[in-house]
Structure 1
């Protein structure tokens, strides 16, 4: 699967407001809800899964870059969003 198959132009946030790790993750997930890719209930579930994942091991890879990811049984496809 190619990244271009997962992300459309509207799933890219070139100028994020958040400056810190967790607020950035929240902003990205909120954007998916705004786009209609997820609903309110799924947003909360995904944020919970991401929080647990980040508490186990940070997904930060250095230089302000992170690849937060988590699993949900209520999502049947890969959903992605990029931000800067």
Structure 2
């Protein structure tokens, strides 16, 4: 599975300026809604589902990265977006450091296999310090898309 198989490029937010963790999640869900990937009447329910998942343990996995995710019946296929917070935000990360890169995943409840494969794909790429450093420096959605493409093609090592 490749990143561009499920990341909605129209929903990428290269300059998130959230007031905090909840606001960052809400902005990313809104970007998916605005790109037509989520039904508008389900936006608050999806935000609530992601925040409920965060209560189980932060998805701030360290190295400036968070992967908030949920399963929700409002979607019929796995979808995701990327948000960059250049100033960093407190995400209650495992390493206690600020988060700069967020990848939000939403998938249908019955599609556990693809959800887990997507999480594995995201985690594998985000363990690559070079990839993360390039992402943190990206200023436009186009630059983010190109980095995702290069990661999918194995050109970032």
Same fold (TM over 0.5): yes
Aligned residues: 84
Q: What is the aligned partner in structure 2 of residue 71 from structure 1?
A: 71
Q: What is the aligned partner in structure 1 of residue 16 from structure 2?
A: 16
Give the greater-gyration-radius structure (CA): 2
Partner Cα separation in structure 2 for residue 62 and residue 19 of structure 1: 20
Partner Cα separation in structure 2 for residue 35 and residue 71 of structure 1: 19
After the TM superposition, which segments of 4 or more aligned residues of structure 1 sit over 3 Å from their partners? none
Q: What is the aligned partner in structure 2 of residue 30 from structure 1?
A: 30
Q: What is the aligned partner in structure 2 of residue 47 from structure 1?
A: 47
Partner Cα separation in structure 1 for residue 63 and residue 4 of structure 2: 24
2:9 touches 2:81 (CA, 8 Å); kept in 1? Answer: no
Q: Secondary structure at the match of 1:49?
A: helix
TM-score using structure 2 length: 0.49
Partner Cα separation in structure 1 for residue 4 and residue 61 of structure 2: 22
**Distance change (3 Å), C-alpha of 1:62 and 1:82:** same
Q: Secondary structure at the match of 1:74?
A: coil
Q: What residue ranges of structure 2 are gaps of 5+ in the alignment?
A: 85-157
Partner Cα separation in structure 2 for residue 28 and residue 37 of structure 1: 12
Q: What residue ranges of structure 1 are gaps of 5+ in the alignment?
A: none
